[in-house]
C-alpha cells in the first residue's frame, strides 16, 4: 500500500448517500417510537378511562409543543413504515441494483414527508 491512510477519520467530511440517511433515520425513528410507546399508551389510557381524564388529555394536547411532538412521532411512524417496506422490497429482490436503491430511498423520503404534511394538516 503506497497510499498513506489517515490516523483519524474526519466524520464530518464523509459524504453519506441518501440510502445511508434513510437507513440511519429508520433506526432513529424506530428508537423514537420505542421510547414514546409508554407515553402513547398513557395517552390511550387517559382517553379511555373517563370523561375527566379525556378532557384533561385534550387540554394538554392543545399546546403547540405537544402538537409538535406528536407531529414528530407521526413522521417517525410513517418514515419507519415506508422504510420498512423498502427493506422488505430489497429482501425480496425487487430492488436489485444501485439505481433502484437510490430511487427507492428518494421515494421513502418523499412519501413519508408528504404523508406527514397531509395528515398533520388534517389533524392540526
pLDDT of residue 1: 59
Q: Does some domain include residue 32?
A: no
Q: Does some domain include residue 55?
A: yes
Q: What is the CATH number of the domain that holds 74?
A: 1.20.1300.10
Cell 412519501 sits on residue:
111
Q: Does some domain include residue 35?
A: no
What residues contact residue 40 under an 8 Å CB cut-off, 6+ apart?
73
pLDDT digits (tens, 9 = 90+) for 36-78: 999 999 999 999 999 999 999 999 999 999 999 999 999 999 9
pLDDT digits (tens, 9 = 90+) for 69-122: 999 999 999 999 999 999 999 999 999 999 999 999 999 999 999 999 999 999
Range of the domain at 92: 40-123
Cell numbers linked to 19: 440510502
pTM for this model (two decimals) = 0.85
Amino acid at each position: 500500500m503506497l497510499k498513506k491512510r489517515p490516523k483519524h477519520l474526519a466524520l464530518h467530511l464523509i459524504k453519506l448517500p441518501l440510502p445511508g440517511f434513510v437507513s440511519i433515520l429508520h433506526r432513529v425513528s424506530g428508537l423514537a417510537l420505542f421510547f414514546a410507546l409508554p407515553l402513547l399508551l398513557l395517552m390511550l389510557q387517559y382517553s379511555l378511562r373517563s370523561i375527566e381524564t379525556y378532557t384533561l388529555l385534550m387540554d394538554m394536547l392543545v399546546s403547540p409543543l405537544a402538537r409538535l411532538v406528536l407531529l414528530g412521532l407521526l413522521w417517525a411512524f410513517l418514515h419507519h413504515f415506508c422504510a420498512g417496506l423498502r427493506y422488505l422490497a430489497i429482501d425480496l429482490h425487487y430492488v436489485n441494483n444501485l439505481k433502484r436503491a437510490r430511487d427507492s430511498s428518494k421515494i421513502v423520503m418523499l412519501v413519508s414527508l408528504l404523508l406527514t404534511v397531509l395528515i398533520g394538516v388534517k389533524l392540526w
